[in-house]
Chains A and B, each alone.
Chain A
Amino acid sequence: MLKIENLHATVADREVLKGLTLDIKPGEVHAIMGPNGSGKSTLSYVLAGRDGYDITEGSINFMGQDIGEMEPEERAALGLFLAFQYPVEIPGVTTTTFLKTALNAVRKARGEKELDPASFLKLQKQKLTELGMDADMLKRGVNVGFSGGEKKRNEVLQLAMLQPKLAILDETDSGLDIDALKVVADGVNALRAPDRSFLIITHYQRLLDYIKPDVVHVLAKGKIQKTGGPELALELEQKGYADFYDEAA
């Protein structure tokens, strides 16, 4: 599904990723944990194709295609989805317009028919209810005036609507209280499927109590330093990242 090989990437002329290799198979849930500033968000942006994040070496293969040069929307059409660590506010564009435009754009790019308004509204309502969200937010500008928790839920709502092949969740747990965390985790778990993979980026082990990963990686100094099973996350929770600072230094 996703195969990253020896990825080097720079941001603002600084090398942040320094030879990262990762292989995610269909249906797998991988977690990447790492200290602040280790390059987790950089990895997510490089995967999503953000301007200013440049690949200098290595490759990213997604769904059998080299996506390194693709526009963000082309990657989305292929089935890549990034839940942002810091979701962007878009005043003036209502959440429902945003969802409809995005869903239809993705469907169109995949050669599917646009959803008629009634089916769209039905789908939207269903997902909203599942995530315990207030229908009122649909009429507001995207993420405008949303609390931190609402923004994260909105990311999961988009994820549920767009049904991607690979979902990257960048610190979706940060800023959530325990109840909200459960709702978000339930939403994600409901989407788990044999042909859908997840890359969960988190600083804390907490989220992984609710979304059970198959594989856990430790990212530090721009590289995967260690890979293991769920027990690795628990170990990190106890010992912290100090080892990796030392190891990588």
Chain B
Amino acid sequence: MAQAAVHSFKTETLQREEAMPWLAPAAVLGGDNAPAWIAALRETGAASFAATGLPTPAWEGWQYTNLRPLTPEAFTFDAAGDVAAQDLPAPLLKDSHRIVLVNGRLRPDLGTPLPDGVKLTPLMEISEPEEELATVGSLAQSPLLALNCAYMRDGFVLDIAPHRDIARPIEILFMSAGNSPAVYPRVLYRFGENSGATLLERHAGEGMALTNLYAGIVLKAAARGRYYRFIDENGDAVHVSRTVARSHKSSDFQGFSSVSGVAAGRQEFGLELLDSGISSSIGGVYMLKGRQSHDFTILADHFEKDGTSVQHFKGVIDDQARAVFQGKIHVHRPAQKTDGYQSHHALLLSDQAEASAKPELEIYADDVKCSHGATAGMLDTDALFYLQSRGIPAAEAKALLVHSFLSETLEKITRDDVRALYAARIAAWLNAPVEEAAA
């Protein structure tokens, strides 16, 4: 039956030749006895992707990021990645719980037990999915999500029980290993009513890998969700992800992401403020050099009144690296008294570095406060000279200025230990010897 799902898209009338090689490896999913809803999603996803292929720069929202140079042949779906416990990076924080996936597959043997009030359910064990799992929005406009659907298999739902405050952070470690794996994880983090938890989602691994993640986040009424992503891959990794935080009444979401090591990346975040009195924020830092490229694309969608959304991003770009920021605040008619804030600031360290920013406001309510600001500039030479004149060597002075520029984004992170994790990544990038990234 799953076999049929894989093949059925080939009968669709609309198929693009260049899309097909991306879908061919999905055949290995055949016969895995996936629940019907998963088989159906795979089918829908594959058919949708077959009709579009990867987005081209002609697509809305894709002017600045071109994925077409990616070739499916460079990656192996279902690559064997044998990782032993001692190969795993040390936990991000002491006293945390851990969930481990290797090449997209859950590895309970590598994780730690989860505390009371936290439940992990593998997707393949869900026979009747709730709405949040089975609906994914318009696939035709999201080819990467369609592809993620086509490969849907071994994700999970993480439930934080209502009225529970989980004290220790939960690290979700996505490891890539082995021969250039292509990984399509799908996860749903669900914060029950009036619950609170801190999630540390970390992507790690050496060398070439393709991650195409779909992460859903649901905050039930009055929930407090902290979601901190660390893209710690290095070298030739490609990371694309779509993360949608659906917030319900009076809930509070804070998300943050840092990226430095990937060859190419695009992180899409959707903040959906579905009810009134919601606070939802997303921030991030990127540090790029060589020929790296990265794209943050954000949409804050205000549906009801008294909501606050924040988008706060900064990045530093060296060599011939390229960064993109696209941020939009969409305020629907009922969303009176909305507070929407967006900023993106890029620091260019070389003449050939490139930053593109596209801020957008779409406002249909009349009583709202929205602001956005975007800048791209070079290091302040006056400040640099001032520091040098006090005896601080040029390289150190530069690092000090970049560090202070970037770490301003961390100020709103409530946990000191998490802030320190991001600060350490900034420091590590600044101290790393300059190397030519692969073309």
A interface residues with partner B (beta carbon < 8 Å): 48-51, 71-73, 75-77, 81-82, 84, 87-93, 97-98, 101-102, 105-106, 109, 142, 158, 162
Q: Is the CB of B391 within 8 A of A87?
A: no
Q: Which 6 A-B pairs have the closest CB atoms?
A: A92-B404, A76-B391, A106-B391, A102-B390, A72-B388, A88-B386
In the complex, which residues of chain A have a beta carbon less than 8 angstroms from the beta carbon of B390? 76, 81, 98, 102, 105-106, 158, 162
Closest partner residue, chain A, to B406 (CB atom): A92
* Binary A-proximity of B366-396 (CB < 8 A = 1, otherwise 0): 0000000000000011110111111111101
Question: In the complex, A127→B383 CA distance in Å?
Answer: 24
Q: How far is the CB of A126 from chain B (nearest CB, A)?
A: 19
Q: Count how many chain B residues have C-beta atoms less than 8 Å from C-beta atoms of the other chain.
A: 22
Question: In the complex, A42→B383 CA distance in Å?
Answer: 17
Q: Is the CB of A84 within 8 A of B404?
A: no
Question: Total A-B residue pairs with C-beta atoms closer than 8 Å?
Answer: 78
B424 CB–A CB distance under 8 Å:
no
Given contacts A49-B389, A76-B389, A102-B392, 8 further A-B contacts (CB under 8 A): A71-B393, A73-B391, A88-B382, A90-B380, A92-B405, A101-B396, A102-B387, A106-B391
Q: How far is the CB of A46 from chain B (nearest CB, A)?
A: 12
Q: Is the CB of B392 within 8 A of A105?
A: yes
Q: Is the CB of A82 within 8 A of B389?
A: yes
Q: Is the CB of B401 within 8 A of A93?
A: yes
Q: How far is the CB of A51 from chain B (nearest CB, A)?
A: 7
Q: How far is the CB of A88 from chain B (nearest CB, A)?
A: 4
In the complex, which residues of chain A have a beta carbon less than 8 angstroms from the beta carbon of B381? 51
Q: Is the CB of A102 within 8 A of B404?
A: no
B408 CB–A CB distance under 8 Å:
yes
Q: Is the CB of B392 within 8 A of A101?
A: yes
B166 CB–A CB distance under 8 Å:
no
Q: How far is the CB of B382 from chain A (nearest CB, A)?
A: 5
Contact of A87 among B380, B386, B392, B393 (CB under 8 A): B386
In the complex, which residues of chain A have a beta carbon less than 8 angstroms from the beta carbon of B391? 73, 76-77, 102, 105-106, 109, 162
In the complex, which residues of chain B have a beta carbon less than 8 angstroms from the beta carbon of A76? 388-391
Q: How far is the CB of B119 from chain A (nearest CB, A)?
A: 42
Q: Is the CB of A93 within 8 A of B404?
A: yes
What are 23 A-B interface contacts by the 8 Å CB criterion? A48-B385, A48-B389, A50-B385, A72-B389, A73-B388, A73-B392, A76-B388, A76-B390, A84-B386, A87-B386, A88-B383, A88-B386, A90-B380, A90-B383, A92-B401, A93-B400, A101-B392, A102-B391, A102-B392, A105-B390, A105-B392, A109-B391, A158-B390
Closest partner residue, chain A, to B388 (CB atom): A72
B407 CB–A CB distance under 8 Å:
yes
Question: In the complex, A73→B381 CA distance in Å?
Answer: 14
In the complex, which residues of chain A have a beta carbon less than 8 angstroms from the beta carbon of B404? 90-93
In the complex, which residues of chain A have a beta carbon less than 8 angstroms from the beta carbon of B397? 73
Question: Which B97-121 residues have a C-beta within 8 angstroms of A?
Answer: none
Given A88-B383, A92-B408, A73 and B394 touching (CB < 8 A)? Answer: yes
Closest partner residue, chain B, to A158 (CB atom): B390
In the complex, which residues of chain B have a beta carbon less than 8 angstroms from the beta carbon of A88? 380, 382-383, 385-386
In the complex, which residues of chain A have a beta carbon less than 8 angstroms from the beta carbon of B401? 90, 92-93
In the complex, which residues of chain B have a beta carbon less than 8 angstroms from the beta carbon of A73? 388-389, 391-394, 397
Question: In the complex, A190→B394 CA distance in Å?
Answer: 31
Closest partner residue, chain B, to A89 (CB atom): B383
Given A71-B394, A101-B400, A90 and B389 touching (CB < 8 A)? Answer: no
Question: In the complex, A4→B391 CA distance in Å?
Answer: 22
Question: Which B278-301 residues have a C-beta within 8 angstroms of A?
Answer: none
Closest partner residue, chain B, to A101 (CB atom): B392
Closest partner residue, chain A, to B390 (CB atom): A102
In the complex, which residues of chain B have a beta carbon less than 8 angstroms from the beta carbon of A82? 389
Q: Is the CB of A72 within 8 A of B385?
A: yes
Closest partner residue, chain A, to B402 (CB atom): A92
